[in-house]
């Protein structure tokens, strides 16, 4: 089977909410030593995004969206530790990352955190639904170089801007590079927030941080 058709099968298993198949594909990918980041992004990520579209089109309802999210989350728990094992091109630098307050979407943020950690960064992943204050206090405490803030909802994106405003008000904006992420984030939004950049996926996030650390 070609890689592309394997990714397609994974995506189809997610869309059919077939937990067992999804888990067995995750295990197969590890056993066969595949490129796990591609498996995550092109297989599981594609599947969950398709579920989001079907939900938007009214084909799926909230319980299906939630079940799909759980299946992907569970598959990620199997895959991500193996992604970590592939350390190469070690970088130094500390990153505090979280999904902003009011937003419980965690899958994409966790993938980014894992990829950064696999690239040698010291990563503090605070999880989802985290207040700007907590993110900033952790960044200060850990003496972080980078703060990464994820938001998947148009209603919670404003929290990304608020976090930067708090840094400005405290006079500590220059202490950190702040990068944004999540499906609704655009370059315009980055400009409006006066953030230092954004990335559409985990590979771009690693490249962006390496550039900012130079
Ligand atoms: C799965 C999912 C859920 C799951 C989340 C499970 C979990 N543990 O994360 C559940 C079921 C809980 C959920 C709930 C809701 N959801 Co939802 N959800 C999704 C869905 C289908 C996929 C998100 C996902 O995991 N994508 C896969 C990952 C791999 O991609 P990603 O998140 O974009 O992350 C990548 C990049 O963005 C980037 N990135 C992400 N974070 C960061 C951070 C940094 C620093 C950087 C640099 C990069 C980066 O790299 C990642 C890896 O490639 C999206 C649809 C979509 N297209 O996004 C809707 C979606 C985000 N949800 C939506 C909505 C409305 C909701 C609910 C409000 C529904 C409801 N009525 O209750 C609730 C919100 C609850 C809350 N308060 O947060 C809407 C948002 C609409 C909007 N414009 O605001 C979407 C767009 C669906 C839609 N098409 O309408 N959801």
Does the pLDDT at position 69 exceed 90? Answer: yes
Q: Which residue has the higher pLDDT, 85 or 74?
A: 74
Q: What number is the average pLDDT over the span 20-48?
A: 95
**Distance (Å) from CA 144 to ligand 1 centroid:** 26
From first CA to last CA, the distance across the chain in angstroms is 41
**Distance (Å) from CA 26 to ligand 1 centroid:** 21
CA-closest residue to ligand 1 atom 11: 66
Q: Which of 74, 2, 89, 90 is nearest to 38 (CA)?
A: 2
Q: Is 131 in the pocket of ligand 1 (CB under 6 A)?
A: no
CB–CB of 161/142 below 8 Å? Answer: no
Residue 90 pLDDT: 59
Residue 209 pLDDT: 94
Query: How confident is the model over 187-212, as pLDDT tens digits?
Result: 999 999 999 999 999 989 999 999 99
Spell out the domain ranges in the chain: 3-85, 94-213
Query: How confident is the model over 145-177, as pLDDT tens digits?
Result: 999 999 999 999 999 999 999 999 999 999 999
Sign of torsion, CA 129 26 38 18?
A: negative
CB–CB of 99/129 below 8 Å? Answer: yes
Q: What number is the average pLDDT over the span 21-43?
A: 95
Distance CA 27, CA 181 (A): 28
Q: What number is the average pLDDT over the span 30-36?
A: 94
CATH no. for 94-213: 3.40.50.280
CA-closest residue to ligand 1 atom 19: 52
What is the CATH T-level fold of the domain 3-85, as seen in this structure? Answer: 1.10.1240
**Distance (Å) from CA 51 to ligand 1 centroid:** 11
Q: Which atom of ligand 1 is nearest to the CA of 208?
A: 47
């Amino acid at each position: 089977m070609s890689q592309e058709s394997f990714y397609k099968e994974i995506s189809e298993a997610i869309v059919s909410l077939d937990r067992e198949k999804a888990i067995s594909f995750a295990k197969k990918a590890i056993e066969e030593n595949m490129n796990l980041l591609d498996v995550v992004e092109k297989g599981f990520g594609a599947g969950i995004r398709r579920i989001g579209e079907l939900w938007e089109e009214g084909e799926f309802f909230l319980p299906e969206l939630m079940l799909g999210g759980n299946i992907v989350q569970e598959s990620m728990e199997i895959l991500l530790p193996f992604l970590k094992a592939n350390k190469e091109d070690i970088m130094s630098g500390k990153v505090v990352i979280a999904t902003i307050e009011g937003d419980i979407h965690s899958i994409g943020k966790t993938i980014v955190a894992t990829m950064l950690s696999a690239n040698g960064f010291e990563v503090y992943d605070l999880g989802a639904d985290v207040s700007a204050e907590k993110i900033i206090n952790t960044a200060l405490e850990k003496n972080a170089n980078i703060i990464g803030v994820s938001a998947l909802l148009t209603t919670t994106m404003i929290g990304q801007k608020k976090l930067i405003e708090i840094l400005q008000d405290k006079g500590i904006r220059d202490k950190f590079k702040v990068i944004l992420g999540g499906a609704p984030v655009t370059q315009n939004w980055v400009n409006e927030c006066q953030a230092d950049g954004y990335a559409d996926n985990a590979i771009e996030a690693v490249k962006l941080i390496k550039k900012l650390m130079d």
